[in-house]
Structure 1
Amino acid sequence: MLYRIFSCCTLVAALGLTAPAIAAANTDHKTVTKSSAKKSTAAVSKAKTSKAAKTSKTAKKSKVVSKAVAKSSNKQITSRAIANARKDVSVSRALAMSSTLDNPGVQSVGVLVLNEQNGEIMYEKNADSLTPIASITKLMTAMVTLDAQLPLNELLTISQADVDTLKNTSSRLTIGTTLTRGELLLLALMASENRAAAALARTFPAGQAAFIRKMNEKAQSLGMRNSRFYDSTGLTPNNISTPRELALMVKAAHRYPEIHDFTTSSEYSFISNQSGRSMAFHNTNPLVKEVDWNIGVSKTGFINEAGRCLVMQATINGTPVVIVLLDSSGKYTRIGDAQRVRKWIETTSTSRLRAG
């Protein structure tokens, strides 16, 4: 028994612990335990808070992603809607441009289709609207030149006065080029050469001002009450007329054999007295080369203010017609419109025959 007590005391002494120290140690152990418990609780609480925060962030991210997906989806839906709307518009335009028995489906702003045989207006659109007519003017230039009965074999020379200073258009007829009056008339009508048309007015015996006056007098005599001419080329937007009045001018021009020949020629070549080289000029209306077209008169025109224009006299399905197409947008629209008018006349003529 004494040995056991001694052993315990020896062990305690060896560890350097006294009774109070042991008590203190026990107290410290409890404190550490409590502190650890508190720390553990705090850690758990912090972990929960962190988890909650992460959950919240994840939720927010999820919401952001959802919004992004929704936005992307909305964009896709919007894009599809726009595409469908555009498709609908294209279809509507196509339907609007399609030919019917009452409408050839032309796109030109000003239109008149006249049956030259009986005077019937087959189709019209903005037929009485005044508009610049560009180089359609040159048909009047040709009639005034021919009415004056000036020698067509007389040699005329292009001068500085014939150069366009209004629109600054170019020309292959260089200053000093000498051609006959007939050749200049041909180039003015077929190739719409502005310097050629300017030279015709400048070399008029009574002068250029008198030539312009004759143009307006001729217009009045044809019943073109609202038409006005200020130059022989059509470069000025002040040269104005209407589809209805231009039909009168085309009908009158068709009575001149030279205008028929010159406006329907596909090309013309000559040797330049300036360069000694051959120069080839072509018709501005490609339809004159088409074998299935029977064209009596043709003239194109273009300046920005007038748009692209085309007037023709042609025989379609055995019927002589005058076609006036003004202010077409796009390089080929006026030609396409002429084709549509012809097809429309052929179709409606067949329909009328069947109905009869």
Structure 2
Amino acid sequence: MRKKWLAIGIPISLVLLTYSFFFSTAEKTLLLDVNEDKLVIDSGIDEAVPVASISKMMTEYLILESIEQGIIDWSDPVQISGEAASKEGANISLSEGDVVPIHDLYMAMLLPSANNATVALAEHLADSEKEFVKKMNEKAEEMGLTKSTFVNATGLTELNSQSNQMSARDIAVLAQLIITRFPEVLQDTAKSSHTLLFSGERVHTTNHMLTKSDLAFDGLDGFKTGYTNEAGYCFVGTASRNGQRFITVVLGTENDQARFVETKKLLSFAFGEPYRPPLEASLDRE
């Protein structure tokens, strides 16, 4: 039987054997070579599962597309509705009637994964979150994301137990589309914090690979965390060195730190360096 080889000349069997020494504790795992547009490692990547705030990536894409098309501008004011202001989970300080620039809401969605900011953006782009969700599903179909279904803009689990569903493969495709079409987004996803113009509130990223030295990885500049009881702890990561970029997807780990540990394992393998485990654990739900 003929051996399969990766583009870099390493037998796939050897890759899988090497990675098995520290095989992922996540339910779904993916490593994508962006330059070659090729999967290096994958496990359970075609099953649709709850993905929590990872689904905010689709909201992000639609915002960036609307900016590019001139439909909205970063400085446009958004009046906060009662529905947005009352959204549960991770949030920034917003009250009904507040008027906030789109860019502030966008950064609040991107870094601390604020649900109230996300709903405010959705309502601004489509009059209601329900109408915005239609746009999310239409865009997913247009992108060929066949295992993706959205029921809200935030990724929260609905009272009827419905939630946004995506496969790890679909997530990687979406991440790649965002990064290649809107590369400037990486300047924001690489930030550990940001000060909101309208309130002076300083918001912080939930991506601990940017904030904790023992989880840090050289070249990492994004991308998005997610957590609900149904989804577990999730993380989409990306890193670039010397023009080579990889995207990782880690879904369904049991604790906050594990999603970053598994990402660091994947990226260490991708860039051919020894994996160095973190010294201590930390917890953060988002």
The TM-score range, normalised by the shorter chain, is 0.7 to 0.9
Q: Distance in 1 between matches of 2:53 and 2:90?
A: 15
Tell me which residue corresponds to 1:243.
168
8 Å Cα contact 1:223/1:248 also seen in 2: no
- 2:110 alignment partner, SS class: helix
Tell me which residue corresponds to 1:203.
124
- Cα displacement string for residues 91-125 of structure 1 (whole angstroms, at most 9, x for unaligned residues): xxxxxxxx952435221111111111112211111
Q: Does 1:146 pair with 2:64?
A: yes
- 1:204 alignment partner, SS class: helix
Tell me which residue corresponds to 2:189.
263
- 2:134 alignment partner, SS class: helix
- 1:298 alignment partner, SS class: strand
8 Å Cα contact 1:115/1:122 also seen in 2: yes
- The structure 1 residue matched to 2:207, chosen from 261, 277, 285, is 285
- The structure 2 residue matched to 1:101, chosen from 18, 37, 41, is 18
- In the TM superposition, 1:327-346 aligns within 5 A as 327-346=252-271
Q: Distance in 2 between matches of 1:269 and 1:134?
A: 25
Q: Distance in 1 between matches of 2:17 and 2:261?
A: 16
- 1:154, CA displacement in angstroms? 0.8
Between the two structures, name the one with larger relative contact order (CA 8 Å, sep ≥ 6).
Answer: 2
- Cα displacement string for residues 51-102 of structure 1 (whole angstroms, at most 9, x for unaligned residues): xxxxxxxxxxxxxxxxxxxxxxxxxxxxxxxxxxxxxxxxxxxxxxxx9524
Q: Distance in 2 between matches of 1:170 and 1:187?
A: 10
TM-score using structure 2 length:
0.78
Whichever residue aligns with residue 171 of structure 1, its letter is N
Q: Distance in 2 between matches of 1:242 and 1:170?
A: 23
- Cα displacement string for residues 296-315 of structure 1 (whole angstroms, at most 9, x for unaligned residues): 43000001100010002222
Q: Distance in 2 between matches of 1:337 and 1:102?
A: 11
- Cα displacement string for residues 214-240 of structure 1 (whole angstroms, at most 9, x for unaligned residues): 111111122201200111111135200
Q: Does 1:174 pair with 2:94?
A: yes
Tell me which residue corresponds to 2:115.
194
CA distance 1:257–1:293, shift in 2 (3 Å): same
Higher mean alpha-carbon deviation, 322-331 vs 233-242, is at 233-242
Q: Distance in 2 between matches of 1:206 and 1:179?
A: 16
Q: Distance in 2 between matches of 1:285 and 1:296?
A: 10
Higher mean alpha-carbon deviation, 220-229 vs 102-111, is at 102-111
Q: Does 1:183 pair with 2:104?
A: yes
8 Å Cα contact 1:316/1:345 also seen in 2: no
Tell me which residue corresponds to 1:118.
36
Give the superposed CA RMSD.
Answer: 2.4
- 2:247 alignment partner, SS class: strand
- 1:203 alignment partner, SS class: helix
Q: Distance in 2 between matches of 1:160 and 1:180?
A: 17
Tell me which residue corresponds to 1:162.
84
Unaligned runs of 5+ in 1: 1-98, 350-356
CA distance 1:173–1:242, shift in 2 (3 Å): same
Q: Which has the higher helix share?
A: 1
- Could you tell me the percent identity over the aligned residues? 25
8 Å Cα contact 1:308/1:330 also seen in 2: yes
8 Å Cα contact 2:90/2:113 also seen in 1: no
- 1:117 alignment partner, SS class: coil
- The structure 1 residue matched to 2:45, chosen from 127, 136, 141, is 127
Q: Distance in 2 between matches of 1:287 and 1:262?
A: 14
Q: Distance in 1 between matches of 2:136 and 2:231?
A: 19
8 Å Cα contact 2:92/2:117 also seen in 1: no
Higher mean alpha-carbon deviation, 299-308 vs 172-181, is at 172-181
8 Å Cα contact 1:112/1:244 also seen in 2: yes
